[in-house]
Structure 1
């Protein structure tokens, strides 16, 4: 089925169930005959995946500015090599994290909402990142519940090892972004069963792109 290219991102703090939620949406898209690709950040392209290994490695010792620039280097290549070509050929792009995670994690988690850091991130987005997602699905779950879920998975990566107060600031970042961009960022209640969350997501996607 030939479709118009779309760009959807999934966001949330650790353990909210993004992987399972993306699985569900992709199954729905396939059943609807919609061509799509599934990708992630940091990563998504060969070069960006190499940077992902560095960024997530607990042994990596870099300052906040270096971390930020590595994230944007990965994102630029991801856009050029994967996202833009997919949209141009009419595929939907389903991306696990994008610019909102950088604002929430680096702007709020690392910098506690410092206006100068947020302005720096906004400037990088404006200069280098086009297009942005048309729809962002923010999976909203209490931070502690998400951390408990995440703790049941494999060994924690460099970001997952952060303390509770870090993720509380990240959550505040996502909440602020949702208030600032109510048309693009749709809050999805991530509590309940995976089937319930999947149904909420599919309803939101249908409403957003007139698929009903």
Structure 2
């Protein structure tokens, strides 16, 4: 395991991944750990521009365009990731698995196409560890209701989110040693402690 790993936070809407990546960032700030934190879509300047286009409530792209826009956003982040790869800890809010879970398992896009383009973009860049945050239907929609504004991906039905979350779980089973499943229906403070303890092990 690299001492400067890429650590990814995955999960459907309302699963707590963005909260937990903030907690890890605060821990790093407090302990003077050098790191890069980005999100997908987003991160670099151009990727953030693509994010606004993808998530706009008025956007109505077909599934292939959606996929290509997400991958375009990733392409804009690659140079930023390469710059700090194995030099700093890299925290990513959504990455490769989100593309597969949403676009393949959720929307039915051919996984071969996704894998080919990801391989082309990432080359030798590899994720070291993934926290997969899972949430039940009740808490998912309760948390979405609490948001001040909803983007396009916050407005799917429960069947879609179920397919996506099951997709994430299938991916986690392919490499169990590099995944930790976080049940976000449980006490948030216990989950924060669990994640920080795992992160300590990854970077020590």
Taking structure 1 as the reference length, the TM-score comes to 0.88
Q: What residue in structure 2 maps to residue 175 of structure 1?
A: 169
Q: What residue in structure 2 maps to residue 83 of structure 1?
A: 81
Match for residue 161 of structure 1 among 155, 166, 169: 155
Offset, 1:92: 1.1
Is 1:92–2:86 an aligned residue pair? Answer: no
* Deviations 1:43-100 (CA, angstroms, capped at 9, x unpaired): 10111111101100111121111111111111011111x2121225x22111110011
* Deviations 1:128-154 (CA, angstroms, capped at 9, x unpaired): 224132111111222331222122112
* Structure 2 CA distance for aligned equivalents of residues 181 and 5 of structure 1: 20
Q: Is the 8 A contact 1:56 1:159 kept in 2?
A: yes
> Kindly tell me: are residues 166 and 26 of structure 1, through their superposed partners in 2, closer, same or farther at Cα, counting changes over 3 Å?
same
Offset, 1:155: 2.1
Offset, 1:21: 0.8
Q: What residue in structure 2 maps to residue 57 of structure 1?
A: 56
Is 1:44–2:30 an aligned residue pair? Answer: no
Offset, 1:182: 1.1
Give the superposed CA RMSD. 1.7
Match for residue 187 of structure 1 among 156, 164, 181: 181
* Structure 1 CA distance for aligned equivalents of residues 121 and 188 of structure 2: 35
Match for residue 125 of structure 1 among 118, 121, 127: 118
* Structure 1 CA distance for aligned equivalents of residues 115 and 73 of structure 2: 16
Taking structure 2 as the reference length, the TM-score comes to 0.92
Offset, 1:28: 1.8
Q: Aligned with 1:59: secondary structure?
A: coil
Offset, 1:4: 4.6
Is 1:134–2:134 an aligned residue pair? Answer: no
Pairs aligned (count):
202
* Structure 1 CA distance for aligned equivalents of residues 150 and 182 of structure 2: 25
Q: Is the 8 A contact 1:41 1:98 kept in 2?
A: yes
* Deviations 1:94-141 (CA, angstroms, capped at 9, x unpaired): 111001101111111111xx6xx1121111112222413211111122
* Deviations 1:133-181 (CA, angstroms, capped at 9, x unpaired): 2111111222331222122112221111111110010011011001112
Q: What residue in structure 1 maps to residue 105 of structure 2?
A: 108
* Deviations 1:10-29 (CA, angstroms, capped at 9, x unpaired): 00111111222112111222
- For structure 1, the residue ranges without an aligned partner over 5 or more in a row are none
